Amino acid sequence: MMGVSLKYGSVYGGVMVALFVLSYLIIGMGPETFDVEEKIGYGIMILTSSVVIMGIRAFRERGNGGRLSFGQGLKVGGGISAVGGLCFAVYNFILVTWIYPDFYPEYMVYYAEKIRSSGRGAEVIAAELEKLQATPEWMGSPLGQSAVMFVTVFAIGFVVAVIGSLALRRRGA
């Protein structure tokens, strides 16, 4: 179980990081591309999470004699998601520490402007800006940003693991 989680989790994280780097090389990085980067980023995370299902299936077929319980699938899929999330968190830490250290302050300015120009009522905009100002300080640190990215990737992978475990479970060989 651990070997499958490490192998497929590394593929999950590695492919995700490679696609993020490729997207930055194509569209660039900065406030002018934040909107597109966000859409592409979530698309990449969802697309690469299919590796979780591949890993669960590989465990069932090669490592468990054709059988798979929901719990086994969830353990394997959760492990794959955790390793993939860790890979992405390390990449994110490197990105926001050395490659693009101004990301968080620039993103906060971009997001505040997005709220202001949303066309919603003045009260709603004020409440949203107040909530943005109340963002915990730790989230602006490289470690905080990386933790958020770990949780994001893990959560997406875990949802896929639940679905995959239900779809792929099989009792006898």
Residue 66 lies in a domain: yes
Residue 173 lies in a domain: no
pLDDT average, residue stretch 110-120: 94
Question: Does residue 170 sit in helix, strand or coil?
Answer: strand
pLDDT average, residue stretch 89-113: 96
The count of structural domains within the chain is: 1
CA distances 103 to 29, 65, 141, Å, are 9, 48, 10
Res. 20: pLDDT tops 70: yes
Res. 171: pLDDT tops 90: no
Q: Which candidate, 19, 83, 5, 21, places its Cα nearest to that of 48?
A: 19
What pLDDT is recorded for position 131? 93
Residue 135 lies in a domain: yes
Predicted TM-score (pTM) above 0.85: yes
Distance CA(16)–CA(91), nearest Å, equals 10
- Each residue's pLDDT tens digit, 40-90: 999 999 999 999 999 999 999 998 899 999 999 999 999 999 999 999 999
pLDDT average, residue stretch 26-40: 95
Residue 55 lies in a domain: yes
User: Who contacts 171 (Cβ-Cβ below 8 Å, separation ≥6)?
Assistant: 67, 69
Residue 49 lies in a domain: yes
Structural domain of residue 18, as residue ranges? 2-168
Res. 172: pLDDT tops 80: no
Residue 118 lies in a domain: yes
Res. 145: pLDDT tops 90: yes
Residue 141 lies in a domain: yes
List beta partners, residue 170.
68
